[in-house]
Structure 1
Amino acid sequence: MKVRGPLITLAAAAALGVGILTVNMSQEPEPAVPGTPVAASTPAPTTPAPAPPPAPAFPAKADYVGKIPTANGTITLDISVEGDKAVAYACDGTSIESWLRGSAVNGAVSLASKDGTGRLEGRLDGANVVGTLWIGQKKWDFTAEPAQPPAGLYVYEQAGVRGSWVVDFSGKATGVLRRSDGSTMPAPGLATDGMAVIDGRTVTATRVQGGSDV
């Protein structure tokens, strides 16, 4: 009697093994042919970083007026900007005063006095200018708000006598009169049209802009 079961089983197993080998070989990558360029993988697209916000900028012309409380009173400050230049004046209406000049770039002002005793650093914070003022060995933080004419900075100079005023939001003028010998006193009142009386003479003060040479 012939036994066919084991033979059939072995044949089936051999056929299954050949089938598995064929499937595995079909899944293997084909070897690269020498001299054939290999395609580079395409990197995943990247999301560009958001652009930084633009730097704040001053208007073409602007005045900012602030009040700085001190131990002995109040210093009134005006910063006048025109283009990339700025002029500032600070005084207490009696003896303290400082003229400062410098740049107004990218929303920041950096000013100094000619004699090196005064300095001002400020920047736009919303509509206002905030910063620090130095006069001599003292310094004060300040906030100066936008001001519309007649508020602003005015000066009169003749024969060594100089009157300087800051007109605030209420129309009040605070200033110092400096004589040729260096002595100072409160400046006389200033009318809304820039008229003042100095030593019995009626004079006209000039409005100072950021680019003025004062």
Structure 2
Amino acid sequence: MTRVGPWVTLAAVAVLGGGLVVVNMSKEDPAPVAVETASASAAVTPGAVASTDQSAAPAPDFPETADYVGTIGLASGGTMTVSITVEGDRAVAYACDGAKVESWSQGSAEGGALRLTGKNDATLEGRLEGQAVQGTLAIGAKQWAFTAEPVQAPAGLYTYESDGVRQSWIVDDGGQVTGVQRAANGTTSAAPGLGTDATATIGGARVTATKVSGADHVG
């Protein structure tokens, strides 16, 4: 009869135990690997990236040339008319009440936004919302919100200057004209009428006004 010594028995147990360890480890390893693979796949899912990019719509920009006109109701019961003319990345704005108050400003027209400044702390800031410009006009300590709609020629902004006297007119799409005359000494008054052919009678002579563009320097 052959006797199995204690060392042989222990060796067999050790081998068996080692086999169990290997089996147990082989059963536990795949799960973490599978989780990591799924996580990495989710992190680089092409569809999610494409969806994010498509949701960021570009900001609207101004046409190469455009004119906008709007009116602002005043607390006094009158109105202030605003004209904005754009050319390229530049813009000029003029606002007047048709009697004594007027304000010029000019600056950038980029990314659908206007940032214009002028004399006497005048500012006009606005943004293209759909087809119209919405923004804020400030003259000195006063400011007003406005909406200016697009207009087509002959509507727009016009000026005529001679001997230091300047007339400025805003023409809307309905042919209504609002203007102010500034004398050489700086005093202001209502501008003479402007015809549909952009002519006016000044000092007894018939003159032709010049249409202002966004690239002009006026003010």
| TM-score exceeds 0.5 | yes
- Percent sequence identity is 52
Match of 2:25 among 5, 24, 28: 28
The answer to which structure has the higher helix fraction is 2
Match of 2:7 in 1: none
For the structure 1 residues 174 and 28, does the alpha-carbon distance in structure 2 shift closer, same or farther, using more than 3 Å as the test? same
Report the equivalent of 2:149: 145
Q: CA deviation at 1:20?
A: 9.9
Aligned residues: 187
Amino acid at match of 1:176: V
Aligned partner of 2:139 in structure 1 is: 135
- For residue 217 of structure 2, give the secondary structure of its aligned residue in structure 1: coil
Name the residue aligned to 1:197.
201
Secondary structure of 1:87 counterpart: strand
* Alignment correspondent of 2:114: 109
Gaps of 5+ in 2: 1-14, 27-35
Q: Any conservation in 1 of the 2:135–2:147 contact (CA below 8 Å)?
A: yes
Secondary structure, counterpart of 1:209 in structure 2: coil
CA radius of gyration, larger in: 1
Measured in 1, the distance between the counterparts of 2:123 and 2:156 equals 20
TM-score by length of 1: 0.81
Across the aligned residues of Structure 1 and Structure 2, the Cα RMSD in angstroms comes to 2.1
Corresponding residue for 1:187?
191
**Counterpart position of 2:52:** 50
Q: Does 1:93 align with 2:98?
A: yes
For 2:23 and 2:75, how far apart are their aligned partners in 1? 92
Runs of 5+ in structure 1 lacking a partner? 1-17, 30-40
Q: Residues 183 and 116 (structure 1 numbering): CA distance in 2 closer, same or farther, change over 3 Å?
A: closer
Whether contact under 8 Å (2:99, 2:188) holds in the other structure is yes
